[in-house]
Amino acid sequence: MNNSKEKTFALVTGGSSGIGLAYAEEWARKGYNILIVSNREDLNTEAQNYLQPLFPEQQILTRYQDLTSENAAQELFDFCESENIVVEVLVNNAGMFYFGAAVEKPMALSHKMTMLHSTTPADLCILFGKKMKERKCGYILNASSITAFMSFPTIAVYQATKSYLLKFSKGIHHELSHYGVKVCCVCPGAVDTDLYNLPLKMRKRLCAIGVMLKPEQIAKRGVRATLHGRKVKIPGIINYFFLFLCFLIPGFLVDLVKKRFV
């Protein structure tokens, strides 16, 4: 794959399915070559086979990699450098989810989620962000969650890692904005993917009433917000209502949820 010609890419972690694949397709529509990175070789192949016919004149590449390992970000950055791939768009989308009390889950699971949602994305922002700053051009889209604004039981580690990514994104947004690099943190509510392990019928109902958005809707709004230089984007008006409602919930109601589910 090596040659003397630089290739401008949108790198999408977790881009082999769900909202990540929607992000990859949306950036491809903007004219970028795509590099999908995930730990599912089978889904990588399916994503490539889906996108390549849609964008025959662009390169759709995939890389199998576990982004929860300690040196994942450096290894991915070194790969792009060795292959002369210029990452003009970085989308930190890879994620995992589970319900349950943190102390009842294996500690290794918490470590894995922290690496995937916080450490590796931050490292990738630093590594690729430095290159973008030097070129005075680039876009970083970090996929957080509306739970980053909340503090509820059963998702303690998830919401904490997403909150870290939100605050980190805000910080580097200001650090890089004067150098032509736009950083946006997208914080969707419920998304119609397999991440939550919900029944298909329930997902359809939630989409019909607007509580849950489809991946394509999130991707379009997230990419548009990034291109426009937005610092934070919460897709879906109904999510602003839920967010406001969460701030009004008294502590004793949170304790009732805790007693019921934890």
Tell me, yes or no, whether 1 lies in a domain.
no
Tell me, yes or no, whether 210 lies in a domain.
yes
Which pLDDT value is given to residue 192?
75
Average confidence (pLDDT) over 250-255: 53
Tell me, yes or no, whether 150 lies in a domain.
yes
Average confidence (pLDDT) over 208-226: 86
Instruction: Supply the range of the domain harboring residue 143.
Output: 7-261
Tell me, yes or no, whether 67 lies in a domain.
yes
Tell me, yes or no, whether 146 lies in a domain.
yes
Which pLDDT value is given to residue 257?
55
Which pLDDT value is given to residue 153?
79
Tell me, yes or no, whether 128 lies in a domain.
yes
Average confidence (pLDDT) over 195-217: 71
Tell me, yes or no, whether 202 lies in a domain.
yes
Which pLDDT value is given to residue 59?
97
Q: Which of 48-57, 121-130, 194-203, 250-259 has the lowest mean pLDDT?
A: 250-259
Q: How confident is the model over 71-89, as pLDDT tens digits? A: 999 999 999 999 999 999 9
Bridge partners of 233? 186
Tell me, yes or no, whether 2 lies in a domain.
no
Residue 2 has pLDDT above 50, yes or no: no
Q: How confident is the model at residue 255 (pLDDT cuts 50, 70, 90)?
A: low
Residue 192 CB neighbours (<10 A) = 21
Which pLDDT value is given to residue 262?
52
Q: How confident is the model over 58-75, as pLDDT tens digits? A: 999 999 999 999 999 999
Q: How confident is the model at residue 152 (pLDDT cuts 50, 70, 90)?
A: confident
Residue 250 has pLDDT above 60, yes or no: no
Q: How confident is the model at residue 15 (pLDDT cuts 50, 70, 90)?
A: very high
Q: How confident is the model over 179-193, as pLDDT tens digits? A: 999 999 999 987 777
Tally of domains in the chain: 1
Average confidence (pLDDT) over 170-179: 98
Q: What is the CATH number of the domain that holds 197?
A: 3.40.50.720
Cα distances (angstroms) measured from residue 227 to each of 7, 78, 230: 20, 26, 8
